[in-house]
Chain A
Amino acid sequence: MTYIILKEDKTIKTYLDRIDDVLLEEGETFKRVEDTFEAYSERFVVSHNGVRCLTVNSVIGADPVLIDISAPGYSEVAVTVSGAAQVIPLVEGKGSFSLPTDVPGRYCVEPADKTLFCAAGYGSLLVIVE
């Protein structure tokens, strides 16, 4: 089983497989799900070229950065790219979109609804274009 820690605003802060050592912050709560820790971590995954959690560094004018999204059981999922939301259609739980590199910047791809999906772990990816 896996324990989900929720922030005061009910967004998911983290998940772990033991709760006895966790000291909650003010307003935080937790719930338990039957998924294993590994299974829960696969609920929402952002990756690039099959790589998760590692910052992608690109240069201005390079090929767009292909971002892969995985959310098994969903036909679409909303993500934000540094706050701007977009809906990604999914086929068999998988989809992708391209992040242009014509403008320098630092872009974080993460779930738009953090009460549903967790940005921690595999749930977000930083892309730096400079």
Chain B
Amino acid sequence: MTYPLSSEVTSGQPTAADHYNNLRKDALYLGNSQADSLSVKGFLNRHQEHMNLAYLSSNRVKVTFDANKPPTIYINGCLLQATAEVDLAAGLISGDAATWYIFAVRTAGSTVFTLSCNTSATESTDQRLIGELYWDGSTIKKTTIKCYFELAAKIPPADYDSGWFAAAYNCTYTKAHSIGSIPRLVVVYYSSSSTGTSEWVVLTVLQNNSAVQSPIGFDSSSIFIQTGAVNTYNAAIYSTRVQSNSGYYRIFAWA
């Protein structure tokens, strides 16, 4: 296929129908026939790049910004690109606990986009659905923030995230992961901080009395962590980085 089909014209040269049609075909179908190619608009219809949602505050999220990879999205025929972080306005997410859906919004006269939200996932004109989160009635649950456009080349967000919970000796913690099958990957992290602000250490072994044993198991419905039986050993984690008989665990699992 020759591309472009059209050629330059000189000043005063009559423009023939074929020339115009080739030009149109170049513009709409990259020189192909309509039967062989979507139009550029049709092709870009669901296009986006570098879109990522992140927690901003208890009732707000944002689209993060990287000048080298600016968030870009095609909405209602318009090519839009952020020039800075895009924040969801305060006060939009409120009321009873619910899943809220986040939309990128086009505004006439602007080449950037803004954010809106709704408990319905239905897009309206000038909106593109980009993600969701869970509001528990008082705050956004950070671990539920999901952008539908996470890059496939990245490790995707875990299908199950327990959040941090307190751990002690002689306990079995059983968590329903809701994945529906045996997870392909389960990782348990330990932190000596309830908020995970201290170093995260992968939990692999702990002390069960003086024996060093692995405490993690899982099946198609649950993940199990069984801490060491005695509090005078490192019953919560036994690592060259951290040793302790108590602390905080957080579980991630992928389908």
Contact = CB atoms under 8 A, between A and B. Distances in A.
A124 B246 contact: yes
A86 interface: no
Contacts, number: 108
Interface in B129-148: 138, 141
Interface string B223-255: 000000001111010000011111110000000
Contacts of A118: 166, 168
**Interface majority SS (helix, strand, loop, mixed), chain B:** loop
8 closest Cβ pairs, A-B complex: A121-B166, A120-B168, A53-B192, A120-B166, A16-B165, A106-B232, A41-B194, A108-B231
A22 B172 CA distance: 11
A52 B199 CA distance: 13
A10 interface: no
A1 B138 contact: yes
A37 B164 contact: yes
Interface string A7-32: 00000011111101111010000000
Given A53-B192, A110-B231, A123-B246, A21 B138 contact: no
Nearest to A14: B166
Contacts of A15: 165-166
Nearest to A55: B243
Contact of B171 (A13, A18, A51): A13
A17 B163 contact: yes
Contacts of B160: 21
Interface of A: 1, 13-18, 20-23, 25, 37-38, 41, 51-55, 82, 106-108, 110, 118-126
Interface stretch (B37-45, B62-70, B72-80, B175-183): B175-183
Contact of B222 (A23, A108, A122): A23
A126 B234 contact: yes
B217 to A, nearest CB: 13
Query: Counting chain A CB atoms within 10 Å of each CB, which of B174, B176, B231, B243 scores highest?
Result: B231
A119 B194 contact: no
17 contacts: A15-B165, A16-B162, A18-B162, A21-B160, A37-B164, A37-B194, A51-B192, A53-B244, A55-B244, A106-B232, A108-B245, A119-B169, A121-B167, A121-B168, A124-B245, A126-B232, A126-B233
Contacts of A16: 162-166
Contact of A54 (B162, B172, B178, B192): B192
